[in-house]
Structure 1
Amino acid sequence: MLSNSRGDLFEKNEIYKSSLNKLTEKAKKNNIISSECYKRYDVKRGLRNENGTGVLVGLTEVGNVHGYTIENGKKIPDQGMLTYRGIDVKEIVSGFQSDKRFGFEEVCYLLLLGEFPTEQELKKFKIMLGKCRELPDGFTEDMILKFPSNNIMNKLERSILVAYSFDNNPDDTSIRNILRQSIELISRVPVMIAYGYQAKAHYYDGKSLFIHSPKAELGVAENILHLIRPDNHYTKTEAEVLDLSLVLHAEHGGGNNSAFATHVVSSTGTDTYSAIAAAVGSLKGPKHGGANIKVINMMSNIKESINNWQDLEEIESYLIRILNKEMFDKAGLIYGIGHAIYTLSDPRAVMLKEKALELAKEKGRVDEFLLYENVEKTALKIFKELRGRENICVNVDFYSGFVYDMLNIPCELYTPLFAAARMAGWCAHRIEQVASEPKIIRPAYRNVKEKCKYIPIRERD
């Protein structure tokens, strides 16, 4: 197992440890701005308006998230809708599923280019993706295996930045070059995360090292299952469920944190790798990309603590204790319930739940699925009765973690899979930013620190 010897310096040496503790207290004391200050200057904290809506900072045609309407300045709850390039995702999913084919590659084409491909265009696009899937010579050995990380998102971010050095034309910001880079990233990121996980499992967890070559003839979902499993085997249902998850996570409007990060960094005129690495860094944050892991951990706690998974009263009693900060992580949150925009329903959760049941039947885990369903409806009941929140719904994170668990995907890959799916949306937003808006994004921050005089070093306390 690898150790972090540099970080150990401040923990094992008492002098350094004491010094760091003192510096920490100063850092805390001198970096807190009071809430009253934010109110006084009418700061839109979190870029949110008073009614909870987002501050309008840009325009996009890539994707849209609809969860409410505004009437007389008030939010009116509505059924959730997610559109890619103006097309309802439900219709997209229904279309490729009725044809009994995978849909992620078609969605990537739609997001990047703004229109659906013809059958021939889609075939050529898939061939392009397949040709790009192999990592550059030396990349796997020198970047991934020699420098493993115990966090795959960290490994992915570094891998994307290193890809800059393997690109013969990295700084060209023409649409043609950005599109070429985008296609390569969409194709290669699944391989990067699969190899990153295998390196982590071997060097940190002591497991056998499996490095399988990707297959050009397979799509993204099938390649992921092929790459992360020692025997390369997977069922058709497994691949279909993972493909659906990738489609549902591919894009979520320009206002989510990672997409906005892509716009902000792209507006500086920098290279594609820097912009997309910034988006990965954003998604790594547990407030953004790691919620499904929280759901899985919470549900594991519920499974261990509840005797009868079908007893709604027992479930309700336990969920109330979670809300009261008595159980689980004592944060007072029921993870996977509620969303910043969706009110009456999250369309992604609705579609993924249907496929989750299909997979649960194949895996013999219907009892667990029914527990998830019972927790969902009981949690909504509790929020309505105890918190007065009627317009709240389960979000996609509630079922996505369960789906990945049934697919035998390690939890370390949950957020990286999110990144692999969202790569298409991020690249589409980058292309849109470069093509449409030449101005650098530079919001205002007000300095509220009073003027201070310089104190000579010998007079300082």
Structure 2
Amino acid sequence: GQIPNAEELKDLQNELKAKSEVPAYVWSVIDAMPADSHPMVMFNTAVLIMQKESVFAKRYDEGMKKDEYWDATYEDAMNIIAKLPAIAAYVYRKRFNKGPRIEQDKNADWSGNYVHMLGLPNENDEFAKLMRLYLNLHSDHEGGNVSAYSSATISSALSDLYYSLSGGLNGLAGPLHGLANQECLGWLLDVYKMFGKVPSRDELYKFAWDTLNSGKVIPGYGHAVLRVPDPRYTAQMKFAKERFPQDDLVQLADMVFDVVPTVLREQGKAKNPAPNVDAISGTLQYYYGVREFDFYTVLFGVGRALGVTPNFVWARALGQPLERPKSLSTKMLEDIVKAAQTA
């Protein structure tokens, strides 16, 4: 692949704009849901209810050839990606009583239009710049995470992208996956509330140890794969320091970066005490006005869709087979443990 030139980028933007109109029945479904529904339920329901629009499903029923699977999947991917900002923005406004739905700005790009429809301040296009960064960084990082892997497994059954993305979003809604960024922000706010200001390094050091000694974890630090600071964390912290370095939460997050890895190394349990993306992403959204924690997973979901749906276009183009992960019986697991103990 290659990075598109200006003309190719414009063509992509125009295609997304042409496909961005959301069917009226989607708004009706969202409006009919209980007022206290979780934003992820509203968002995921809207994605799944659009399955009737699937180009892949229609062409498959018509006897589409295997070497055409990728093309129909591409059409579904573009249709979904184009519509997600409007859907997510309306979920935000509907669920949190922000007022009526805001119509799209046809002159804005994909991320800028998303910010416009959220109805939040976007002075000098700064929030839109963050959203471009945020959505790209949260698109995908490796295929083993719950949302990407579950989506891929579903897609391998030739379920169309509406089905497969919906399945991945269900995984993203789990506390161990998509809720980490809001838990990190909540911990930072707890620190700030405790001291009424940005604490000293010694105060933060003690607070971190108090958290661990109470049987809790410090969210945002450690990663199942990475053994260095998450580059997505680094990119977002750089963005914050360049634009609002005096913000209290940014200063606190930066101090946590200096203090918490030391605490975790002293504790001796964490294999990787460095920060992951969640250690800063919520702080930036909070700065720009997204204060409703339950919406953060929807923000994540829009970005994840941007990453996983193109992967399924490639999967169909390459003719990847149905995924059938092997399972292990309890006895097999016991044998593995015994072998490791005697090795």
| TM-score interval, smaller chain | 0.7 to 0.9
Task: Tell me the percent identity.
Answer: 23
How far off is 1:397 after superposition? 0.6
Q: Aligned partner of 1:416: which letter?
A: V
What residue identity is the alignment partner of 2:73?
Answer: I
Report matched runs for 1:22-171 at 5 Å: 114-140=1-27, 142-148=28-34, 150-167=37-54, 170-171=57-58
Shift of 1:163: 0.5
* 1:66-121 superposed Cα distances (whole Å, 9 cap, x missing partner): xxxxxxxxxxxxxxxxxxxxxxxxxxxxxxxxxxxxxxxxxxxxxxxx43222211
Cα 1:338–1:208, aligned 2, differ >3 Å: closer, same or farther?
closer
Once residues 248 and 77 of structure 2 are traced to their aligned partners in structure 1, the CA distance between those partners, rounded to angstroms, is 41
Once the two structures are overlaid, the 10-residue window that deviates more, 120-129 or 212-221, is: 212-221
Q: 1:208 to 1:301 in 2, by over 3 A?
A: closer
Distance 2:123 2:293 in 1: 18
Q: Distance in 1 between matches of 2:200 and 2:143?
A: 42
1:341 aligns with 2:225: yes
Cα separation, partners in 2 of 1:168 and 1:242, compared to 1, 3 Å: closer
Superposed displacement of residue 261, structure 1:
1.0
Structure 2: distance between partners of 1:337 and 1:382: 11
CA gap 1:375/1:438 in 2 versus in 1, 3 angstroms: closer
Distance 1:134 1:185 in 2: 10
2: distance between equivalents of 1:244 and 1:128? 21
Could you report, residue by residue, the CA deviation over 1:117-166 in whole angstroms, capped at 9, with x for unpaired residues?
A: 222111111001112222023331x2211225621111121111111124
Does structure 1 residue 275 correspond to structure 2 residue 159?
A: no
Query: 1:375-403: per-residue Cα shift (whole Å, max 9, x none)?
Result: 22110111122327575311111110000
8 A Cα contact 1:259 1:429, kept in partner:
no
The counterpart of 2:189, out of the listed 278, 282, 300, is: 300
Tell me, yes or no, if structure 1 residue 224 matches structure 2 residue 111.
no
Q: Are the counterparts in 2 of residues 172 and 271 from structure 1 also a CA contact under 8 Å?
A: no
Question: Following TM superposition, by how much is the alpha carbon of 1:444 offset from its aligned partner in structure 2, in angstroms?
Answer: 2.9
Equivalences, count:
321
Are 2:298 and 1:416 aligned? yes
2:70 pairs with 1:175: yes
The whole-number CA distance in structure 2 between the counterparts of 1:447 and 1:380 is 38
Taking structure 2 as the reference length, the TM-score comes to 0.87
Change (3 A) 1:390 1:139: closer
Q: Mark the CA change 1:393 to 1:208 in structure 2 (over 3 Å): closer, same or farther.
A: closer
In structure 1, give the amino acid aligned to 2:3.
F
Retained in 1: the 8 A contact 2:55–2:72?
Answer: no
Measure, in 1, the Cα distance between the counterparts of 2:83 and 2:92: 14
1:356 alignment counterpart:
240
Residue 247, structure 1, aligned to residue 247, structure 2: no
Q: 1:380 aligns with which of 247, 257, 261?
A: 261
1:406 aligns with 2:287: yes
Report the alpha carbon displacement of residue 407 of structure 1 after superposing the two structures with TM: 1.0
The answer to whether the Cα contact below 8 Å between 2:222 and 2:276 also exists between their aligned partners in 1 is yes
What's 1:439 paired with? 321
Question: What residue is the counterpart of 1:23 in the other structure?
Answer: none
Paired letter, 2:238:
E
Partner of 1:392: 273
CA shift for structure 1 position 435: 2.5
Q: Is the 8 A contact 2:73 2:316 kept in 1?
A: no
Runs (4+) of structure 1 exceeding 4 A deviation are 388-391, 446-449
Shift of 1:437: 4.2
Q: In structure 2, list runs of 5 or more residues that go unmatched.
A: 61-68, 332-343
State the shift of 1:413 in Å: 2.1
Match of 1:425 among 289, 299, 307: 307
Instruction: Give unpaired runs (5+ residues) of structure 1.
Output: 1-113, 202-206, 326-330, 450-461
Q: 2:178, 2:300 within 8 Å by CA — same for their partners in 1?
A: yes
What amino acid maps onto 2:119 in structure 1?
R
Q: Distance in 2 between matches of 1:122 and 1:145?
A: 35
Mapped contact 2:55–2:76 kept (Cα < 8 A): no
Structure 2 distance, partners of 1:368, 1:135, is 37
CA distance in 2, matches of 1:389, 1:233: 39
- Checking the alignment, whether the CA contact within 8 Å between 1:241 and 1:359 is kept in structure 2 is no
Is the 8 Å Cα contact of residues 266 and 434 (structure 1) preserved in structure 2?
no
Contact 1:198 1:209 in 2 (8 A): yes
Change (3 A) 1:396 1:270: same
Residue of structure 2 in register with 1:192 after alignment: 87
Measured in 2, the distance between the counterparts of 1:155 and 1:417 equals 13
Pick the structure with more strand per residue.
1
Task: Tell whether the 8 Å contact from 2:55 to 2:75 is kept in structure 1 after alignment.
Answer: no
Answering whether residue 227 of structure 2 is matched by residue 332 of structure 1, we say no
Contact 1:131 1:216 in 2 (8 A): no
CA apart distance, 1:299 = 1.1
Give the drift of 1:336. Answer: 0.7
* TM-fit CA distance, 1:186: 1.0
Q: Contact 1:171–1:271 (CA<8 Å) still a contact in 2?
A: no
The TM-score with structure 1 as length reference comes to: 0.65
Quote the offset at 1:345 in angstroms: 1.8
State how far apart, in whole Å, the 2-side matches of 1:280 and 1:391 are. Answer: 27
Q: Which of 144, 148, 173 is the aligned partner of 1:259?
A: 148
- Would the aligned equivalents of 2:184 and 2:282 in 1 still touch at CA under 8 Å? yes
Quick check: 1:343–1:391 contact (8 Å CA) kept in 2? Answer: yes
2: distance between equivalents of 1:305 and 1:238? Answer: 29
